[in-house]
Structure 1
Amino acid sequence: MVVRYSQTAQGMGTAAVLPFDISPIQIGTEGQCFDQSFSIIGRVRWAWEDGAWNEWLMLMADGSHAWLGEAMGQFMALREVELAGSLPQVIRRLMNDTQVRPGESGNIAGHSYEVADVRTVHCIGCEGELPFTAPSGWKALSVDFRNRDGRCASFQKDRHGPSLYVGHYVTLASLQPRNLRPLPGWSLPADAA
């Protein structure tokens, strides 16, 4: 693993090999999201006691980053938002390490959301380019929010502090993907080659 700082790089050791999963996404997958093209440049694989999911880093055409969360065949396109100004009580409670439960609600970025799940997760591997180091075993509090209009949000808090991401659910087809990973027994859609 190598961390790049502006014009220099620092060796960080060896990372574990990511466990196999059946995602059609891979580093180099390209598509459309947030009204612009993107390319997948990195991945973090998170786990908890009952499963695991991928968070793919998208390099957007305008040079910004966004995330594509992938769990159980569902995809969430998310962008980080600043944790400032008038925050809902549920977010303030999470920032202060106060417990929240599924079903609680709050207004985030102008939309009403409900807590869908709360879990402590750990990183089981990463690959590609990331805007941070993601060592195996890194732990975080992860809270997912949903609303009835297809919007979603995700709050994470780890040793570096809290962060909040907002976006919406997407389908693989709506991303207009290219360069998907071929999987045995699954034929690529004609428009995804």
Structure 2
Amino acid sequence: MRKFDCPSCGADVTFRSAQSVYAVCAYCQSMVVRTDIDVRSIGVMAALPDDMSPLQLGSGGYFEEQPFTLIGRLKIGWRDGLWNEWHLLMADGKRGWIGEAQGSFSISFEVEGALPRDVEATVAHCRALLTSGKAAEARPGFAVQLGGATLRAVDIKLATCLGSEGELPFAAPKGRRTVAIDCIGRQGEFATLDHDGREAHAYVGRYVEWDAFRFTNLRPLEGW
């Protein structure tokens, strides 16, 4: 864990993960980028749209009997709705993501190393179609091989970052656009493929029931 003074307001900006390079100051909402020796501000993050998520920064939980803490969040919007991507830090230092959409939850971890060429080419092709106004031609149904499993694409969408908070492994300013492809396998596997205009990424995991996460330090909400 490392702490820096926010370049804008002087408040503590904490990086709990050694791989986090970006954070939003909790006090002044400055977007802060970490370098090897210091931090610098790259602007101000707009307030996140409110939602009814019971999760918050600092919420804890368990996955495969190992504890984790939520250290960052992306609020993502697309044509038909919104969802949250929570950046998590496992007790062993591994980072991952919890996707929260309409009451369902998934957990995934980034595939390390270069993606298979066919997967990278497919994601880039889908992005080209969606960003050029040819979304109807970007059809799901194709199969990809990831993490030793065969998964089938079930949804392709152009997503826009509506805001972020906490610490993240990349800069996520408001307006950042990505193509997101959701895939599922026969044994409950889940994967998201995305392309931010520069490179493709893949995150593999599975859907998990709420109770299985054993969440703690939840946001106070009426009815919970």
User: Matched residues in 1 for 2:192 and 2:102: separation?
Assistant: 16
Please name the residue that 1:32 is paired with: 62
The one-letter code matched in structure 1 to 2:149 is H
Matched, 1:106 2:136: no
User: Matched residues in 2 for 1:133 and 1:166: separation?
Assistant: 21
User: Matched residues in 2 for 1:24 and 1:104: separation?
Assistant: 35
Q: Structure 1 pair 131/89, CA: closer, same or farther in 2 (3 Å)? A: closer
Pick from 120, 134, 139: which aligns with 2:172?
A: 134
| TM-score normalised by the chain length of structure 2 | 0.77
User: Matched residues in 1 for 2:188 and 2:103: separation?
Assistant: 15
Please name the residue that 1:191 is paired with: none
User: Matched residues in 1 for 2:217 and 2:124: separation?
Assistant: 39
SS in 2 for 1:22: coil
User: Matched residues in 2 for 1:94 and 1:112: separation?
Assistant: 16
The one-letter code matched in structure 2 to 1:104 is F
Count of residues in correspondence between the two structures: 185
1:20-72, Cα deviation, whole Å (9 max, x unpaired): 11111110100111441100000001111110100000011111211001111
Q: Within 5 A, what are the aligned runs for 1:27-106? A: 27-82=57-112, 84=114, 87=116, 89-97=118-126, 100-106=138-144
Matched, 1:153 2:191: yes
1:155-182, Cα deviation, whole Å (9 max, x unpaired): 0101331100000101121011100111
User: What is the Cα deviation at residue 83 of structure 1?
Assistant: 5.2
- Structure 1: where are the runs of 5+ without partners? 188-193
Deviates more, 1:95-104 or 1:155-164: 95-104
Matched, 1:168 2:206: yes
- Structure 2: where are the runs of 5+ without partners? 1-30, 130-137
1:74-121, Cα deviation, whole Å (9 max, x unpaired): 111000003536x37455322355764222223222112111100111
8 Å CA contact 2:120–2:200 kept in 1: the answer is no
* Percent identity of equivalent pairs: 39
User: Matched residues in 2 for 1:88 and 1:4: separation?
Assistant: 31
Q: Structure 1 pair 114/143, CA: closer, same or farther in 2 (3 Å)? A: same
